[in-house]
């Protein structure tokens, strides 16, 4: 069986990355991409890298395409909660990549996103889409909230240690991301002379992935951590490195901490424990790397991934595969670039 899928928001970095992955997926047909500004234009006139892989044209609205099995919503926050109710009414499964369905508390959403949540009914039923921890709930789900990119890298690094009981439930997360994480719209901060040879801290104390990290780790480890999250913009295009600093409860050595990660991720296809995690090892792929180091009474855990793949589009396809009963790695079975 071939499933028909569509993308709302087909021109942004996440939408284009979804298109790149899905046009070669063995079990789905990419049937629709929406774009208000490019409706009627051929997809390849905008995404020239898809030349020879699709003959689709952008449409203004997703409801112009019939018989869809699943839709990805790859829009800025605040849009998905207006789109999802109608899609679900049509029986279409949805994956939201925007953040509208990640935080389970509507009041928390309002606090961090500055908007009232208009779809609390579907917010309550949405499954948080981090497959390594929640694949049982994702299988067969109708609505999945795809995690944020920083949140994914931090949760993969933090959750095993917090669950193990080796560390206190407070963590400092030092995150560094490439410029593609900020989206396609240019800003003064993203102007090349500003960021091209610099490291810039931003949204300190107010980044929206902070409550997401706290919520998700609580869901998995049963411990709501106190998170201090400091994101930085670094002069690369793709990739995230999150360095997560903990206080150890008791003496532990490198091997003790490493064993915790190997136990959690030893059988995972896309998350690997390595001695020196590297962005270059995972860029262009759905793979993530984690690592750790003990320094006196402290432990440092690292989470590395491509923010556009495992941090967004690739993880969304991983979730889609689970939702549709497909092989979890379908369409994603390729390594990082390495260089």
Please identify every stretch of the chain with a pLDDT value under 70, giving residue numbers as ranges. Answer: none
Q: Sign (positive/negative) of CA torsion 327, 328, 330, 335?
A: negative
| C-alpha distances in Å from residue 238, one per residue of 17, 233, 278, 282 | 12, 11, 12, 10
Q: Which long-range contacts (CB under 8 A, 24 or more apart) does 16-19 make?
A: 16/47, 17/308, 17/309, 17/312, 17/313, 17/314, 18/72, 18/74, 18/313, 18/316, 18/317, 19/43, 19/47, 19/50, 19/54
Domains and CATH numbers, the chain: 3-125 (3.40.50.720), 149-307 (3.30.360.10)
Please state, in angstroms and rounded to a whole number, the distance separating the CA atoms of residues 8 and 58.
Answer: 10
Active-site option among 23, 94, 149, 244: 149
End-to-end Cα distance, the chain: 37
Q: How many CB atoms lie within 10 A of CB 121?
A: 9
Task: Look at residue 223 in the predicted model and tell me its pLDDT.
Answer: 84
Asked if residue 255 lies in contact with residue 312, where contact means CB atoms within 8 angstroms, the answer is no
Task: Look at residue 264 in the predicted model and tell me its pLDDT.
Answer: 97
**Among candidate residues 81, 106, 76, 107, the one with its CA nearest the CA of residue 94:** 81
* Eight-state DSSP code of residue 189: G
| C-alpha distances in Å from residue 208, one per residue of 136, 162, 202, 296, 327 | 26, 21, 12, 32, 32
Please state, in angstroms and rounded to a whole number, the distance separating the CA atoms of residues 249 and 19.
Answer: 46
Task: Look at residue 277 in the predicted model and tell me its pLDDT.
Answer: 97
Q: Is 195 a catalytic residue?
A: no
Please state, in angstroms and rounded to a whole number, the distance separating the CA atoms of residues 19 and 7.
Answer: 8
**Among candidate residues 66, 59, 64, 62, the one with its CA nearest the CA of residue 79:** 62
Q: Name the pairing type of β-strands 288-295 and 271-273.
A: parallel
Task: Look at residue 328 in the predicted model and tell me its pLDDT.
Answer: 98
Task: Look at residue 321 in the predicted model and tell me its pLDDT.
Answer: 98
Q: SS3 for 243?
A: strand
Task: Look at residue 210 in the predicted model and tell me its pLDDT.
Answer: 94
Task: Look at residue 192 in the predicted model and tell me its pLDDT.
Answer: 83
Q: Provide the token pair at 42.
A: 């051929």
**Residue 309 exposed, middle or buried by CB count within 10 Å (0-12, 13-18, 19+):** buried
pLDDT tens-place string over residues 283-312 = 999 999 999 999 999 999 999 999 999 999
Place of tokens 């928001």: 9
| C-alpha distances in Å from residue 33, one per residue of 25, 55, 95, 274 | 16, 11, 14, 38
């Amino acid at each position: 069986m071939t499933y028909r899928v569509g993308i709302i928001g087909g021109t942004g970095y996440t939408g284009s990355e979804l298109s790149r992955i899905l046009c070669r997926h063995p079990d789905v047909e990419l049937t629709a991409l929406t774009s208000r500004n490019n409706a009627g234009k051929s997809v390849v006139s905008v995404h020239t890298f898809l030349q020879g892989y699709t003959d689709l044209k952008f449409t203004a609205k997703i409801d112009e395409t019939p018989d869809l099995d699943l839709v990805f919503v790859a829009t800025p926050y605040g849009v998905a909660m207006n789109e999802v109710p109608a899609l679900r009414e049509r029986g279409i499964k949805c994956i939201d990549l925007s953040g509208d369905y990640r935080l389970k508390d509507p009041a928390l959403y309002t606090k961090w996103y500055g908007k009232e949540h208009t779809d609390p009914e579907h917010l309550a039923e949405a499954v948080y889409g981090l497959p390594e921890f929640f694949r049982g709930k994702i299988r067969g789900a109708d609505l999945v909230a795809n995690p944020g990119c920083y949140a994914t890298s931090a949760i993969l690094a933090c959750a095993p240690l917090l669950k193990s009981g080796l560390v206190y439930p407070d963590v400092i997360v030092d995150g560094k991301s490439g410029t593609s994480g900020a989206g396609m719209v240019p800003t003064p901060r993203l102007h090349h002379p500003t960021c091209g040879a610099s490291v810039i801290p931003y949204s300190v104390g107010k980044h929206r992935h902070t409550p997401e990290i706290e919520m998700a780790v609580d869901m998995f480890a049963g411990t709501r951590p106190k998170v201090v999250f400091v994101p930085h913009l670094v002069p690369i295009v793709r990739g995230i490195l999150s360095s997560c600093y903990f206080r150890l409860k008791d003496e532990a050595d490198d091997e003790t901490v490493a064993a915790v990660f190997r136990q959690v991720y030893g059988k995972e296809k896309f998350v690997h424990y390595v001695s020196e995690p590297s962005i270059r090892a995972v860029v262009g792929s759905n793979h993530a790397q984690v690592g750790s180091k003990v320094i006196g009474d402290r432990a440092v855990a690292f989470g590395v991934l491509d923010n556009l793949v495992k941090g967004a589009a690739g993880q969304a396809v991983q979730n889609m595969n689970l939702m549709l009963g497909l092989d979890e790695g379908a369409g994603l079975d390729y390594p990082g670039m390495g260089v």
